[in-house]
Amino acid sequence: MDLEARGANQAALETRAAAATRRQFGREVFVRAVVEVSNFCRENCHYCGMRRDNRALDRFRARHDELADLLIHHRPASITDVNIQAGEDPVATREVVLPLVRTLRRETSLGVSVCLGTLSPELSGELHAAGARTYIIKFELADPELYAQLEAPGTLAERVATIRGLAAQGWQVSSGFIAGLPGQDAAALLGNFRLAAELPLIGCSVSPFVPGDETRLATAAASPLDLTLNCMAALRLLRPDWIIPAVSALNLAGPGEGYRRGLRMGANLCTINLTPEAVRGNYLLYKRDRFIMNEERILTALAAEGLSPARTRMEDARAGLTATATVR
């Protein structure tokens, strides 16, 4: 697979990836919401603005009642799933996320996923028992030496063990990696595909490296959009059945067409950001001036590509169910 493909070669790659996606999923794309519940983080990843050593960041934890009201009564009509996301903050997991999962399972039929970093087996087990079904935990990069240099969470071996442990616990696990990190050569990039293929996953994301505000890599060069798009297509051809998101960072790497090109290169999941505006700017993955994907932007992008929102929850689709879940 030529991850440097351009021109006619890249167009051929796009055609193959799009065809594989349509064969597996038709012209429907999953649409979920995300709520970012805490920017406290005990990790110190060089590429993330929420790293623990960033003393300039105003930290927050969202309130259960505010998020529950939003998701029960005011969520966009197009969503079937919600992802609850935070920095690695076990306090927020126990005090905000657990009650929110229970509330959503009781009051709605939304599929529930979480993205909360490395937790104890006991706490992840409580989340699963409460009704969350998908755990999103990115391995970030498959090169153990570079992983250590960038202070990614724990060690790569520990991260992989956590992913395997979550799958053994009954979770549907989705992972992901960053394309074009400083110091990542071609061999290291290909290693991401080998690791992803070995793991018990239901999906995988590819994020372009974006030099984030208030990170240790703020002055590094951004990765080319085409590299990320080619990686997305390669993932789709590797695993036609995987859920592959169009990440919001595609808008930063390729203003204007980046997101829609992701939909052509194998993506079958879009995410509407519902984090309350008052705290959204401090969820600092990349830039403080965030490009927020709202429902209008996503539906416009889908329509422009001849696609439509799925009405089946991701967890049901992955379980092989054919009936469409009715979302209350």
| Nearest alpha-carbon partner for 136 in 202, 221, 47 | 202
| pLDDT value at 16 more than 90 | yes
Rounded CA-CA distance 123/135 in Å is 12
Whether 216 contacts 259, CB under 8 Å: no
pLDDT at 219: 96
Rounded CA-CA distance 223/231 in Å is 12
pLDDT at 288: 82
Rounded CA-CA distance 310/302 in Å is 11
Q: What is the pLDDT of residues 114-161, one digit of tens each?
A: 999 999 999 999 999 999 999 999 999 999 999 999 999 999 999 999
Question: Residue 255's pLDDT band (boundaries 50, 70, 90)?
Answer: confident
Total number of residues shown for the chain: 328
| pLDDT value at 327 more than 60 | no
Region 2-25: what's the mean pLDDT?
96
Q: What's the longest Cα–Cα distance across the chain?
A: 52
At 61, list the tokens: 């934890």
Question: How confident is the prediction for the chain on average, in pLDDT?
Answer: 94
Per the listing, tokens 């709202």 go with 294
Region 14-21: what's the mean pLDDT?
97
Going from N- to C-terminal start, the domains of the chain cover: 7-318
Q: Which element (helix H / strand E) includes 250? A: helix 250-253
Q: Can you give the pTM of this predicted structure?
A: 0.95
pLDDT at 317: 81
By CB atoms closer than 10 A (0-12, 13-18, 19+), residue 168 is exposed
| Nearest alpha-carbon partner for 232 in 245, 220, 248, 223 | 245
Question: Residue 320's pLDDT band (boundaries 50, 70, 90)?
Answer: low
| pLDDT value at 76 more than 60 | yes
Q: What is the pLDDT of residues 260-311, one digit of tens each?
A: 999 999 999 999 999 999 999 999 998 887 889 999 999 999 999 999 999 9
pLDDT at 323: 36
Q: Which element (helix H / strand E) includes 50? A: none
Q: Domain 7-318 is of which CATH architecture?
A: Alpha-Beta Barrel (3.20)
Mention every residue, 6+ apart, whose C-beta is less than 8 A from residue 98: 126, 127, 130
pLDDT at 101: 98
Which residues are bridge partners to 204 per DSSP?
175
Q: What is the pLDDT of residues 164-216, one digit of tens each?
A: 999 999 999 999 999 999 999 999 999 999 999 999 999 999 999 999 989 99
